[in-house]
Chains A and B, each alone.
Chain A
């Protein structure tokens, strides 16, 4: 059974069409991340599920039941915001217990459940402290505890770790994931951070301009992006893209990039997969790890010039110049000694993408290596 179903959702703010015909099914116990840049409609979608925002048309079902007529409080959903929204005059314990106070649970049961949640979040030692005495990460743990303690049907999280520093975010990611594994609560999580989406989600729903672009597992959206937007929004450094045209040459194919800036070899099967249609303009895409670099002239490799080298410690990112085009490649640390030298590059066929330059849609090319 689906945990949450969104069917044909439309939402306007005045003239702005912020959610366009959105359809999404979140499975029971699934962790789905709504990912997109600011203004894409992801938070509005989340707030619509919570009942904090009315939709103009469409259906929202939670565990099979339409909920549009239900108030937020009656939807049995917990919400965690970026800003912790804790009661400053209450201790961490009382903050977590708060949602249970309105119910008829016994004192002992409340205590048991608060302790259980606190243990899962490793904040047992903080229960007597007030929010002002807690760090940002601990405040967010308390806020998550408060959301979980009711055992809601679904948990909605809006950039819950967006305001924490980088190291803490890394740790909190792992904690949120573990917590989900242990509690199995259906979760919809909103973020603009693709690393968060990749590392947390069972499935990612990418949004842009109110339109759902693609729904898939992290591996799907990374390896087979549906369009240029998804291709460039997911992954860091960003996928290299260039205007491209194809040409047969002695049993092989060549992809000519930019305005005749240079060319790379590709397997001939590309010529069967992309039929030369009238007026079809191509954009090719390749992630930095798909650009193979050699220090010596190598058969099937194209000479390029090494430009800026970014040493990131575990690996380097190198800008390779081919005419006026720049392709960024990921190499082992120190592989290319300095900017300005000549190196040779080849595209890994498996990781080479082609898009319709006009629509941005992927042509779903699948090449073997």
Chain B
């Protein structure tokens, strides 16, 4: 178990700035997810903590010790990658033994056996111990990779998109298993992913990274409900949050060149009272309602039936808005419908900077 702190980390590769003044703190025993698109700097951050890369400047602390000059082995962290790097001609047991027989660590055989038995039980791979790894399915191989990290009982687990190569069903079940494992072990997990569902579902805390900068660190619900800027708002949630231009004046909010007046309530109304000018309005699909009594008109552009619910794409002028509707609602394409919104769930962003105006 360990506490991790990154302070003012900058890392460049040639002229490319991978990380810029990055500050990050991960509490002892926390499941921390670093979320961002490809190229955001997630893997670089993880490799810096592991000791596989050196920052150009900044400090890295594990358990309040400066580890900048420590080797990867000394840092006592375990890495799990997207591509399981198992030894194909060895059995699962031999693969699990391997990290316990390294030069740095040496364990007696009974201790090795006990650790393997514990890890195998936790990961439900006991029946696979004597099988060669090239006879395993993808999900089994990834469990063995995780097992190889567990047997060492490291202070920190660093995981780089470990679920990305697996199919959807397996990803879903391994999500729960990993979360369960982390709760059981009480270990510090840093999990890197581009998949917002993985971040939301597993993270105690989520750090959103974009272009080498941390945009927001918060609990999943807060990331979702109070995104710091338009990037976070659009990146987290599926379907993506709807955005459209609006204008505020004297506490009134209009959109679509003044054709629509939007009612706001709660914090959104308080904010509107104090501001005037152009804004970018954001609203999530589940906060848009469709029904005959609703105030605004739209045309049905598309209906996606997801079984549990429908995603309806509405067209207002040239703008498309996605709304979540009950599965039983029948809406012919190109028909005209009315829609409204939850007035407390409007988000306002600065059109130029993208900052969430209600938070700044």
- Is B108 on the interface with A (CB-CB < 8 A)? no
Q: Is the CB of A308 within 8 A of B176?
A: yes
Q: Which of A174, A313, A339 contacts B220 (CB 8 A)?
A: A313
A289-B308 in contact given A167-B234, A192-B167, A312-B197 (Cβ < 8 Å): yes
A173 within 8 Å of B by Cβ?
Answer: yes
Total of A-B residue pairs, C-beta within 8 Å:
99
B221–A311 CB distance below 8 A: yes
Known: A167-B240, A193-B168. A313 touches B221 (CB 8 A): yes
Once the chains bind, are A174 and B238 in contact (CB under 8 Å)? Answer: no
- Residues from chain B with a CB closer than 8 A to the CB of A235 are 307-308
Task: State the Cβ distance, A233 to closest chain B Cβ, in Å.
Answer: 8
Contact of B311 with A by CB under 8 A: yes
- A173 to B: closest C-beta gap in Å: 7
Instruction: Indicate if the CB atoms of B238 and A310 lie closer than 8 Å.
Output: no
Flag if B308 contacts A178 (CB, 8 Å): no
CB distance from A333 to the nearest CB of B (A): 7
User: A314 to B240, Cβ gap below 8 A?
Assistant: no
Give A235 Cβ to nearest chain B Cβ, in Å: 6
Kindly list chain A residues whose C-beta atoms are within 8 Å of the C-beta of B64: none
Residues of A within 8 A of B164 (CB): none
Let me know if A166 and B307 touch, CB within 8 A. no
Is B324 interfacial (CB-CB < 8 Å)? yes
A232 touches B169 (CB 8 A): yes
Contact A173 B304 (CB under 8 A): yes
**Shortest beta-carbon distance from B136 to chain A in Å:** 17
Known contacts A177-B302, A199-B311: does B236 contact A313 (CB below 8 Å)? yes
- B194-226 vs A, CB cutoff 8 Å, 1 = contact: the mask equals 111100111000000000000000001100110
* B307 contacts A181, C-beta separation under 8 Å: no
Which residues of A sit under 8 angstroms from B306, Cβ to Cβ? 195, 198-199
Least Cβ distance of B36 to chain A in Å?
12
Also in contact, A237 and B172, with CB within 8 A (given A310-B200, A311-B200, A333-B221) = yes
Q: Is the CB–CB distance between A199 and B169 below 8 Å? A: no
Residue of B nearest to A310 (CB): B201
**Are the C-beta atoms of B238 and A166 separated by less than 8 Å?**
yes
Question: Contact flags (1/0) for B302-333 with A, using CB distance below 8 Å?
Answer: 10111110010100000010001001000001
Top-4 shortest CB links A-B: A199-B304, A222-B307, A310-B201, A313-B224
* Chain B residues within CB distance 8 Å of chain A: 37-38, 167-169, 172-173, 175-176, 179-180, 183, 194-197, 200-202, 220-221, 224-225, 234-240, 284-286, 301-302, 304-308, 311, 313, 320, 324, 327, 333
Q: Give 26 CB contacts A-B under 8 Å.
A: A38-B167, A165-B37, A165-B38, A167-B234, A170-B239, A174-B302, A174-B304, A174-B313, A177-B304, A178-B302, A198-B307, A199-B311, A218-B305, A218-B307, A222-B307, A287-B307, A289-B308, A307-B180, A308-B176, A308-B179, A310-B200, A311-B220, A312-B200, A319-B176, A330-B308, A334-B221
> Which residues of A come within 8 Å of B, CB atoms?
37-38, 165-167, 170, 173-174, 177-178, 181, 192-195, 198-200, 218-219, 222-223, 232-238, 287, 289, 307-308, 310-314, 317, 319, 330, 333-334, 339
